[in-house]
Amino acid sequence: MKKETIGLIGGGQMGEALVRGMINSGLVPAGRIMVAEPDGKRRDSLSQTYQVKVTDIAEPLCDFASVLILAVKPQIIRPVLAQYKVFVGSNHLLISIAAGVPISAIEREIGRQRIIRVMPNTPALVLAGASALSPNEQASAEDLQLGMKIFSAIGTCVHLPESLLDAVTGLSGSGPGYVFTFIEAMIDGGVLAGIPRPVAEQLVLQTVYGSAKLALETGKPPAVLKGMVTSPGGTTIAGLHVLEEAGMRGAIMTAVDRAGKRSKELGS
């Protein structure tokens, strides 16, 4: 990456994950990162753990950074942007990760700057996130490339039009909620069958992790991988029959669709 300097607005969970990802992947050295964070204890912890610069006000952050990453809760976006408005200009790329906040709302607060909106998800906290990213018209191809690099440092990243970000929210944004519900149910199933809970948990977590890893590393479609464990008249097809009868696929598809629609409702 060129000599970009990064300014995080908000040193909370996601802010810290981004700092860790950028430094650990070698994308940006700690000396080129500054975090603006109101909580003194958080500032001390971030500067001690990562050797990044810290501040509690907008001006030094905007003087320092060419890329500003807005990582505060969506509810406080407006007052925070009001603090930054006078310091943000065409020399900055502003990246917002605030869930459900449209680019148009950010432009209303700070003008038509170079803006990229990103929808990450919670596995980003362990650098295994899935993010979708949409630039506005002012953002250049180079800005987009830079955004892709930053969010690839905390997992995987795709470029999509902003009109699809609500659907992404229902899919990968809310997705961990569906997966954890599935994980919990599988563990309970193991307990029902007599397996001690901690053992069931260990087996289920590794099964889910290993299945995703297998799909990612072989590149084989899920249907083919499912076929590998589904022998005629065997155990897996007996279990799958129950899931199909219960309408699991339809329920999951509707859940993704409904969550996306809810995201749209909340954002409007």
Q: What is the chain's length?
A: 268
CB of 159 to ligand NAP, least distance (A): 17
Other Cβ atoms within 10 Å of 211 Cβ, number: 14
Other Cβ atoms within 10 Å of 49 Cβ, number: 13
CB of 109 to ligand NAP, least distance (A): 13
CB of 121 to ligand NAP, least distance (A): 5
Report the residue from 20, 22, 28, 42 that binds ligand NAP according to the rule CB under 6 A: 42
Q: Does 170 bind ligand NAP (CB under 6 A)?
A: no
Binding mask 83-112 for ligand NAP (x = CB under 6 A): x-------------xxx-------------
Report the residue from 24, 29, 31, 38 that binds ligand NAP according to the rule CB under 6 A: 38
CB of 124 to ligand NAP, least distance (A): 6
Alpha helices in the chain (DSSP H): 13-24, 40-50, 58-64, 77-84, 103-110, 141-152, 165-168, 175-192, 197-218, 222-228, 235-245, 248-267
For ligand NAP, the closer of residues 60 and 190 by Cβ is 60
Q: Does 122 bind ligand NAP (CB under 6 A)?
A: yes
Q: Does 36 bind ligand NAP (CB under 6 A)?
A: yes
Q: Does 120 bind ligand NAP (CB under 6 A)?
A: yes
For ligand NAP, the closer of residues 11 and 21 by Cβ is 11
Instruction: Give, to the nearest 10 degrees, the angle between helix 13-24 and helix 141-152.
Output: 90
C-alpha of 86 from chain center: 29
Q: Given the rule CB under 6 A, which of 34-42, 85-93, 134-142, 197-205 is the region that contacts ligand NAP?
A: 34-42
Q: How far is CA 209 from CA 51, 142, 215, 224, 248, in A?
A: 32, 34, 10, 18, 20
For ligand NAP, the closer of residues 15 and 135 by Cβ is 15
Quote the tokens at residue 213: 């890893």
Nearest one of 244, 78, 260 to 166, comparing CA atoms: 260
* Location of structure tokens 């969010």: 151
Considering only residues 68 to 87 of the shown chain, the ones binding ligand NAP according to CB under 6 A are 71-74, 76, 80, 83
CB of 154 to ligand NAP, least distance (A): 10
Q: Does 124 bind ligand NAP (CB under 6 A)?
A: yes
For ligand NAP, the closer of residues 93 and 154 by Cβ is 154
CB contact at 8 A, 173 and 263? yes
Termini Cα distance of the chain: 36
CB contact at 8 A, 54 and 80? no
Q: Does 53 bind ligand NAP (CB under 6 A)?
A: no
Where along the sequence are the contacts to ligand NAP (CB under 6 A)? 9-15, 36-39, 42, 71-74, 76, 80, 83, 97-99, 120-122, 124-125
